[in-house]
Amino acid sequence: MKETIQFKLNDESVRLEVDGERMLLWVLRTDLGLTGPKYGCGEGFCGSCTVLVNNEAVRSCQYPVKNVKGKDVITVEGLAKGGILHPIQQAFVKHEAMQCGFCTSGMILEAYSLLRKNPRPSIKDIIDGMEDHLCRCGSHTRVVGAIQTASDEMKGAVKR
């Protein structure tokens, strides 16, 4: 059943006529042309499809688009402002926290969500928070380092 769904996407209002049961991942990638969120498993296991809904990381492959009504959705494309990378993105660049990069957008947004809740995470907190994100290339060590650096840089104030 098609319905009207309005929400904010990377700070801009969006109005869609779609079947509300469709998963956000496919609506973002196909209808809205935002291909930052990736398909890796389709069942919530890998985290490569992660986006922010009201600053909370969600797995968009498991998240019906009707649930974003009236909410704020941020994809990796919306994190940098005016060409300036977000501190988390900067930290990922600095630490080279990626190889093939396919898991990277999901990792960055999960890190964002994690740091908002816990601006000064311990290594253990970071590992626990990232545990359900898979990276086949083995960038894990770098990701942990990047999140620590981002936390230091932001001095507890996680915002976009």
Partner 1 sequence: MSDQKYPVGPLAEVGAPLILGRRGFLKLMGGGIFIFFSAGDELFLQEPARSQAGRPGLPTDFNAFLRIGEDGRVTLFTGKIEMGQGPMTALPLMLAEELEVTPDMVDIILGDTDLCPYDMGTFGSQTIRSFGPALRSAAAEARIVLLELASEKLNLPPERLQAKDGVIFDKSHPQTRVTYAQLAQGKTIERHAAQKPALKTPAEFKVMGKPAARRDARDKVTGKAQYAGDIRLPGMLYGKILRPPAHGSKLKNLDTSAAETVSGVQVIRDGDMIAVLHEYPDAAEAALAKIKADYDLPEAVLNDTNIFDHLSKVAPPGRAVAQGGNLDEGAKMAAFTIERSYLNSYVAHATIETHTALVEFKDNKATVWASTQAPFRVKDEVAQALGIPAQNVHVIMPFVGAGFGGKTRNTQAVQAARLAKIAGKPVQVAWSRADEFFYDTFRPAAVVNIKSGVSNSGQIVFWDYEVLWAGERSSQQFYSIPHHRTVVRGEWGGGRGGGESGHPFDVGAWRAPASNTNTFARESHIDIMAAKAGIDPLEFRLMNLNDERMKRILKAAAGKFGWTAAKAPSRRGFGLACADYLGTYLATMAEVEVNKETGAVQVKRVVCAQDMGVAVNPDGATLQIEGCITMGLGYALTEEVHFRGREVKDLNFDTYQLPRFSWLPKIDTVLVNSPEVPISGGGEPPIITMGAVVANAIFDATGVRLLQLPMTPERVKEGLKRG
User: Where on the chain is the footprint of ligand FES (CB under 6 A)?
Assistant: 39-42, 44-49, 59, 61, 98-103, 135-137, 139
Among ligand FES, partner 1, none, the one that 49 touches (CB under a kind-dependent 5 to 8 A) is ligand FES
Distance CA 121, CA 100 (A): 26
Q: How far is CA 159 from the centre of its chain?
A: 14
Whole-Å CA distances, 7 to 68, 71, 130: 6, 5, 27
Q: Taking the CA atoms of 22, 25, 29 and 32 in sequence, report the sign of the dihedral they define.
A: positive
User: Is residue 43 close enough to count as binding partner 1 by CB under 8 A?
Assistant: yes
In terms of residues, how long is the chain?
160
| Residue of the chain from 133, 149, 154, 158 that contacts partner 1 (CB under 8 A) | 133
| 59 binding partner (options ligand FES, partner 1, none; Cβ < 5 to 8 Å by kind) | ligand FES
Stretch that binds partner 1, among 1-9, 112-120, 135-143, 152-160 (CB under 8 A): 135-143
Q: Whole-number minimum distance, CB 1 to ligand FES, in Å?
A: 24
Tell me the C-alpha distance between 2 and 20, whole Å: 7
